[in-house]
Copies of this chain bind each other. A is one copy, B any other.
Amino acid sequence: MSIPIVRKVLEKNERAAEENRALFAARGWTCVNILGGAGCGKTTLLEAVIPRLRESCHIAVLEGDLATTRDAERIDALGVPVVQLLTDGGCHLTAIHVSHALDHLAVEDVDLLLIENVGNPVCPANFDLGEHARIALLSVTDGDDKPSKYPLLFRTANLVVLSKSDLLPAVNFNTEAVSHDVHRINPSVEIVLTNTASSEGFDTVTHWIRSLDSLRARCGTVSVH
């Protein structure tokens, strides 16, 4: 009973994702979808990489949430165009959400569109938004069993960020075991440790985003600040 329903939803999403992909290609935009559980540090990652990237790229952001505009306000404070997408209880963004949000983005001069998905390690991984790349976040405070427990999130990621690494001494998190588990399901994916206390890893993430083919072609190879 439920399988045809799921298929219909995903087929509809896939069509919209293809349309988004075509639109991004036509406009020359690079789109990065940022996924991870609630509180894993997605907005904080944006706050760290946007100032590092904006000198060479025009950036816009879509913020996905069930409720509140708190994250969009944090991005707006950086002076970057942002649209808050509220799903009204929905647990993930769809390509259709993104398509509607693009109508509300008042700028056309964009090189890099960063999409922060709904805080949920499960459902967002099922929905292609038409993005060029995915970044999956896991906070070290959330436990080293998560790559095995949420395989799709890590399997579909192009970059894995282990956030809040300054708290490693305070928690029981085996970074080596996590790297092993992640590479078991996604052998070649790069894994970066980050934290805001020392800014560890944010230059690496910035460099990784900047090295995406479509963005490099557009924004050049300016060195990381």
Q: Which residues of A contact B (CB under 8 A)?
A: 1-2, 5, 8-9, 12, 37-40, 65-68, 70, 89-91, 118-123, 126, 139, 141-143, 145-146, 148-152, 164, 166-167, 170-171
Contacts and interface: CB of A to CB of B under 8 A. Distances in A.
16 contacts: A1-B12, A37-B37, A37-B38, A37-B39, A38-B143, A65-B149, A66-B150, A67-B151, A68-B145, A70-B148, A70-B149, A90-B122, A119-B121, A119-B149, A141-B167, A167-B170
A148 B38 contact: no
B141 A66 contact: no
Given A67-B149, A68-B148, A119-B122, 5 more contacts: A5-B8, A37-B119, A39-B141, A39-B142, A141-B141
Nearest to A151: B67
Nearest to A118: B122
A146 B38 contact: yes
Contacts of A90: 122
Contacts of A12: 1
- Report the copy number of this chain in the oligomer: 2
Minimum-distance CB pairs A-B, first 7: A39-B142, A141-B141, A91-B122, A39-B143, A37-B38, A38-B121, A91-B123
A174 to B, nearest CB: 13
Nearest to A40: B142
B91 A91 contact: yes
Contacts of A164: 141
A167 B140 CA distance: 13
Nearest to A9: B2
A70 B167 CA distance: 23
Contacts of A139: 39, 141-142
B39 A89 contact: no
A71 to B, nearest CB: 8
Given A39-B37, A143-B39, A146-B39, A66 B151 contact: yes
A150 B151 CA distance: 23
Contacts of A152: 66, 89
A91 B122 CA distance: 6
